[in-house]
Amino acid sequence: MDERESGKKPEADLQSRLLANITHELKTPLHSILAAANLLHNQIDGPLNDEQRRQVEMILRNGEQLLEQITELLNYSSNASGTYRLIISEFDPRALFNGIFAVMAPVAARTSVTLETDFSSLGPKFSSDRALIQRIVSNLVSNALKFTPAGGKVSSHARSTSSGGIRFDVVDTGIGIPSEFQKAIFQDFFQVEAGDARRFGGVGLGLALVKTAVANLSGKIEVKSEPGKGSIFSVELPALVPPERDVLVAGRDAGLRLTLEECLRTQHLRGTFVETAKQLFEAVAQKQPELIIIDLFEADGQRESGFEILTAVRAAQWGKELPVIVMSALGGATERSKAFGAGASDFIVKPFDVAELVARINGQLQK
């Protein structure tokens, strides 16, 4: 995991923050409206007649469309304000691409557009900001579907490149983009068919968002298009290597150590393993860790318990703010409240699922 501030655009900062606040304020009541409409639609409080059902469906359809547009504005404002922090992790790109297209399949089916994908040339691992890539691909595919009439085709092919990056394209047989607009479509709010007569939904921010996201990921995007024939959006993204960050682990269980070593490695975290408070204090001085994991082992001989180590960390000046994840074989309320009372930031019960531990570690590192 790595978090980097993306390039700042000071002049856009205030405006984007304002936009972010407004869109956030709009989203909250809209969620309540949609929740109420969903309750009505599911006839929880009694049956609806056909006309009422039709009206509720209209509220839902338009509300969801509005929510999508507000979400787009919100994403755009967080990108444009330069406050977006890259979160770099290693993931399976095939799973990511397949997931995005699985969500889009019903949209394609509804509009009678054929969806074709080939992700077999993607390697099993890629390191970058997963959420940003998802945003890029989703925007390109939803545009392709939006601008392709019934009977057309949208296809996507992705592959790993020889330099360790990925390259993918989103190809459609839709309306195409006149060459004089192929640059402008990436500008904020630009739409080829502007004005009240627009046939297509959207606010004209999707591609601006895509462009910023691609730039934040140090990638490149190109468009080739011919009116009446279709468009090809091609994106190339390099693998981003996160700098290693240090994590200290206090534990005395060899099996647990092996699991943790593997788990930290996949997250580009450098684990240092210690068994006593003294070793932990020495390691802190050398490594400046960003996270401490403490197994709540019992005291043995001269060596203190995991709980005593937790207390010692929180008593130290440097340990007041550090995130500390505590592990224990006991998951009961007593053990948890004792751990949280002593200053644990998070708690995980052994044996744990590695994915859960990774999520908890990342959750702590993002704070």
- The token pair that represents 170 in the structure block: 């989103």
Supply the minimum distance, in Å, between the C-beta of residue 111 and ligand ADP.
Answer: 13
Supply the minimum distance, in Å, between the C-beta of residue 218 and ligand ADP.
Answer: 21
| Cis peptide leading into residue 124 (ω within 30°) | no
Q: Find the angle CA(247)-CA(250)-CA(256) to the nearest 5 degrees.
A: 90
Q: Which residue is nearest to ligand ADP (CB)?
A: 202
Residue partners of 81: CB distance under 8 A and separation at least 6 = 9, 12, 13, 16, 17, 20
Supply the minimum distance, in Å, between the C-beta of residue 209 and ligand ADP.
Answer: 7
Supply the minimum distance, in Å, between the C-beta of residue 225 and ligand ADP.
Answer: 7
Nearest to 256 by CA among 311, 308, 305, 296: 296
Residue partners of 215: CB distance under 8 A and separation at least 6 = 7
Supply the minimum distance, in Å, between the C-beta of residue 66 and ligand ADP.
Answer: 13
Q: Looking at beta carbons only, is 146 or 245 nearer to ligand ADP?
A: 146
Supply the minimum distance, in Å, between the C-beta of residue 284 and ligand ADP.
Answer: 48
Q: Looking at beta carbons only, is 172 or 346 nearer to ligand ADP?
A: 172
Q: Looking at beta carbons only, is 13 or 68 nearer to ligand ADP?
A: 68
Q: Looking at beta carbons only, is 14 or 194 nearer to ligand ADP?
A: 194
Supply the minimum distance, in Å, between the C-beta of residue 26 and ligand ADP.
Answer: 17
- The token pair that represents 57 in the structure block: 């469906």
Q: Looking at beta carbons only, is 156 or 272 nearer to ligand ADP?
A: 156
Q: Looking at beta carbons only, is 77 or 364 nearer to ligand ADP?
A: 77
Cα separation, 267 vs 262, in Å, equals 9
Q: Looking at beta carbons only, is 116 or 261 nearer to ligand ADP?
A: 116
Cα separation, 200 vs 146, in Å, equals 7
| In contact, 250 and 294? CB cutoff 8 Å | yes
Supply the minimum distance, in Å, between the C-beta of residue 24 and ligand ADP.
Answer: 20
Which residues of this chain interact with ligand ADP, rule CB under 6 A? Answer: 143-144, 147, 172, 174-177, 185, 190-193, 202-208, 231
Nearest to 308 by CA among 274, 350, 339: 339
Strand 324-328, strand 346-349: pairing: parallel
The helix (H) or strand (E) run that includes residue 15 is: helix 10-41
Q: Looking at beta carbons only, is 174 or 306 nearer to ligand ADP?
A: 174
Q: Find the angle CA(94)-CA(100)-CA(104) to the nearest 5 degrees.
A: 140
- The token pair that represents 322 in the structure block: 């550090």
